[in-house]
Amino acid sequence: MSAAMFAALGFTVALLVTTAYFIMGSIPLLILKHDSPLDARFVRGFFNIYYVAAFVSAAATAASYALAGRFGVALGAAALALLAMVLRKKVIPRMDSLGAEIESNYMDAIPGFRRTHITAILINVGQLALIVWSLIAFGR
């Protein structure tokens, strides 16, 4: 096995751990009422860190698989890196906007923030399933 393939496997583990860790960390945050600006800032910060970590680990995974000559898996990991960037550009501003509405006591923002939080979790679960599936499908 080449050094590039060892690196690819290591970065794949990092990507799996990052995704699974943030799923396991974000689900318990649903117990928050999301009615406080502090709750909104904390959840927003949590997802912001996740999107940066997901981008870095997916980009490194993509590059290492490309160097190992596994272009199908590299393309999939690159798509995950791109998805992390897109989600960061969409979800974080939405959480910021809803957090500001919560701060100004606009109570209709609370269900919107909660839906955004749940949607982000479901997307992360989908990403994890895609990563695991790709390892099974392309790992041979």
**pLDDT per residue over 12-24, tens digit each?**
999 999 999 999 9
- Between the alpha carbon of residue 125 and those of residues 4, 106, 120, 131, the distances in Å are 28, 30, 9, 10
Average pLDDT, the chain: 91
What per-residue confidence (pLDDT) applies to 140? 60
Report the distance separating Cα 92 and Cα 45, nearest Å. Answer: 8
Instruction: Reduce the DSSP state of residue 28 to 3 states and report it.
Output: helix
Instruction: Look up the pTM and report it.
Output: 0.89
pLDDT band at 139 (very low <50, low <70, confident <90, very high): low
- Assess contact for 138 and 75: CB atoms under 8 A: no
In 10 A of CB 17, how many CB atoms?
12
Range of the domain at 118: 3-138
Number of domains within the chain: 1
